[in-house]
Amino acid sequence: MTVKPLGDRVVIKNCEAEETTKSGLILTSAAKEKPQMAIVIAVGPGGNVDGKEITMNVKAGEKVIYSKYAGTEVKVDGEELIIVRQSDILAVVE
């Protein structure tokens, strides 16, 4: 079962706690939004979104920092996925 995001939506999956510790990245909670690290699973096609032309700049497989509260959680085939707008992704981590 595949989840194909529409427009400027991106499907991401939280990195597990173990992996986060290994990589040395610890996320502190800011005043208004809890950022989190995730892996990009699928990227919408962008293009005409609500009358605006949107270019997609993230790729499946990339590790990203995103704003947690903006997303919608879904559980597909046992995997917990999150669907966010690309504008809720703050940075790519390499």
Q: What is the largest CA-CA distance in the chain?
A: 43
Q: At closest approach, how far in Å is the CB of 13 from a second copy? A: 14
Give the three-state DSSP class for 83: strand
Residues 23 and 54: beta-carbon distance below 8 Å? no
Q: At closest approach, how far in Å is the CB of 53 from a second copy? A: 6
Give the angle subtended at the CA of 70 by the CAs of 61 and 75, to the nearest 5°. 60
Q: At closest approach, how far in Å is the CB of 52 from a second copy? A: 3
Instruction: Give residues in contact with a second copy (CB under 8 A).
Output: 1-7, 9, 11, 23-33, 35, 44-45, 47-55, 57-58, 65, 67, 69, 71-78, 80, 83, 86-87, 89-94
